[in-house]
């Protein structure tokens, strides 16, 4: 292989080697770079080192290019792929030099690891080069998927493991959460066997499960899930209630909320889950309701889940962060109105960006002195607890998605 995994999301690197490798970048763009990049990526993925396998793949891709693009494209693809095979064999695939000032280094790393330059610069500033490279390697690797067994239907993890064994799906037990297993392959078999449809288990990353541990739902609790759809955390919280208490699931997106409602039925938690389609900001303003526990799993950049969402890095812009942080502040203010005195507000994201996480909490605490941080010791394993007492999963360290949660307690002296 090339020294690091090549997947379809590594399009910047592919564009770079295509243009250097054959010096025909204009032609590539003329015939449609996405198609050619995809073929190149597939080919490199399949390992171009064994010469014969490489040449066979080249032939197949030439056929594909002729059919998908136009007859002349076949020759071009043939030339590019054969050139890449020979460059690989002589270990001379082009790589940019990581040299110069921060910007130049970020540009080189962005090409090598196929991430947007703005993201790399940002991460270099927060964590330095080494850690940023480890993160990008993680983002480019094949993702793990978590499965959570649905205890609300009486299933145990052993039941799920037995099902996976009978389907011959390789899996590992989560060491963090007793309801979870993780897989890297075999999801298709799980889907086809109907395990998801029948509500035996759901696809959920352990990082999301740990956010629910920060909420710590207990039988009898009244909980509001302020940005609930599609409902992964709603269902896990509901299953922890063991039929006593309630989760009010709010979301602004009608379609996603409808899916949540249907899934609640198939997961047998519809007796404790109620849905409301609303903008949280208007809902909190109009309704004088108070809950024991309030979860705000805020809309965010999703920068903690890039290994699973191949295109997300290319759809995000630096400007999005500004819009998102503003929305997160507004949603936090709204969510805080729904917490009863002495109650708990959990703010969470699936981002690793400090501006969406610690900085939002600091700004919130500045605006709301009736709230204080309640460190998450005892709610999640110790290596997920940050110095400030927040929950943080680091993909590179914990090998699960990146996520963040703060547990904030409202003063019991604060009037309702």
Ligand X SMILES: C[S@@+](CC[C@H](N)C(=O)[O-])C[C@H]1O[C@@H](n2cnc3c(N)ncnc32)[C@H](O)[C@@H]1O
Binding mask 266-295 for ligand X (x = CB under 6 A): -------------xxx--------------
CA distances from 252 to 247, 269, 327 (A): 16, 21, 13
* Closer residue to ligand X (CB): 139 or 351: 351
- The torsion angle over the Cα atoms of residues 349, 351, 354 and 358, rounded to 10 degrees, is 10
Beta partners for 408?
A: 345, 373
Q: How far is the CB of 287 from ligand X (least distance, A)?
A: 13
* Closer residue to ligand X (CB): 13 or 379: 379
* 8 A C-beta contact, residue 223 and residue 237: yes
Q: Give the C-alpha separation, 369 to 403, whole Å.
A: 25
Q: How far is the CB of 7 from ligand X (least distance, A)?
A: 24
Asked if residue 22 binds ligand X (CB under 6 A), the reply is no
Q: Closest-CB residue for ligand X?
A: 227
Which part of the chain contacts ligand X (CB under 6 A), choosing from 61-69, 139-147, 251-259, 356-364? 251-259
DSSP for 124-169, written as a single string: HHHHHHHHHHHHHHHHHSPPPEEEEE-GGGT--HHHHHHHHHHTT-
Pairing status of strand 180-183 against strand 172-173: antiparallel
* Closer residue to ligand X (CB): 57 or 208: 208
Sign for the CA dihedral angle at 270, 271, 273, 278 comes to positive
Catalytic residues: 350
Q: Where in 292-311 is the site for ligand X (CB under 6 A)?
A: 297, 299
Binding mask 201-240 for ligand X (x = CB under 6 A): -------x------------------xxxxxxx-------
Asked if residue 250 binds ligand X (CB under 6 A), the reply is yes
333 is in an annotated binding site: no
Q: Give the C-alpha separation, 173 to 193, whole Å.
A: 20
* Closer residue to ligand X (CB): 18 or 215: 215
Quote the longest CA-to-CA distance of the chain: 76
Residues found near ligand X in the complex (CB under 6 A): 208, 227-233, 250-253, 256, 279-281, 297, 299
Write out the binding residues.
Answer: 227-233, 251, 279, 297
């Amino acid at each position: 292989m090339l020294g690091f995994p090549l997947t379809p999301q590594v399009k910047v690197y592919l564009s770079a080697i295509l243009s250097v490798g054959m010096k025909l970048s204009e032609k590539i763009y003329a015939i449609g770079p996405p198609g050619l990049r995809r073929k190149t990526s597939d080919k490199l993925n399949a390992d171009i080192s064994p010469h014969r396998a490489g040449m066979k793949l080249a032939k197949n891709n030439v056929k594909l290019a002729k059919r998908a693009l136009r007859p002349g494209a076949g020759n071009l693809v043939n030339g590019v792929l054969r050139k890449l095979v020979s460059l690989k064999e002589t270990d001379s695939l082009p790589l940019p030099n990581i040299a110069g000032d921060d910007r130049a280094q970020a540009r080189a790393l962005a090409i090598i690891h196929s991430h947007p330059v703005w993201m790399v610069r940002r991460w270099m500033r927060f964590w330095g080069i080494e850690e940023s490279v480890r993160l990008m390697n993680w983002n480019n690797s094949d993702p793990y998927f978590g499965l959570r067994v649905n205890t609300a239907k009486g299933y145990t993890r052993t039941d799920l493991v037995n099902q996976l064994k009978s389907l011959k799906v390789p899996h590992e037990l989560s060491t963090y959460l007793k309801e979870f297993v993780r897989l890297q392959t075999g999801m298709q078999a799980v889907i086809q066997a109907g395990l998801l449809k029948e509500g035996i288990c759901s696809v959920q990353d352990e990082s999301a499960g740990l956010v629910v541990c920060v909420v710590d739902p207990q039988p009898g609790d009244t909980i509001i899930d302020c940005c609930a759809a599609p409902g992964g955390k709603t269902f896990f919280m509901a299953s922890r209630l063991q039929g006593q208490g309630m989760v009010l699931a709010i979301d602004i997106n009608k379609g996603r909320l409808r899916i949540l409602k249907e899934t609640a039925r198939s997961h047998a938690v519809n007796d404790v889950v109620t849905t409301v389609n609303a903008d949280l900001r208007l809902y909190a303003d109009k309704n004088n309701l108070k809950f024991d526990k309030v979860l705000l799993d805020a809309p965010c950049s999703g920068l903690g889940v890039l290994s699973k969402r191949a295109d997300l890095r290319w759809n995000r812009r630096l400007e999005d962060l500004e819009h998102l942080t503003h929305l997160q502040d507004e949603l936090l203010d709204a969510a805080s109105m729904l917490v009863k005195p002495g109650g708990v507000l959990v703010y969470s994201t699936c981002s690793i960006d400090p501006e969406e996480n610690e900085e939002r909490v600091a700004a919130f605490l500045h605006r709301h002195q009736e709230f204080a941080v309640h460190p998450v010791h005892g709610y999640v394993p110790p290596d997920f607890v940050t110095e400030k007492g927040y929950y943080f999963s680091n993909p590179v360290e914990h090998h699960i998605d990146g996520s963040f949660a703060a547990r904030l307690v409202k003063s019991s002296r604060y009037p309702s």
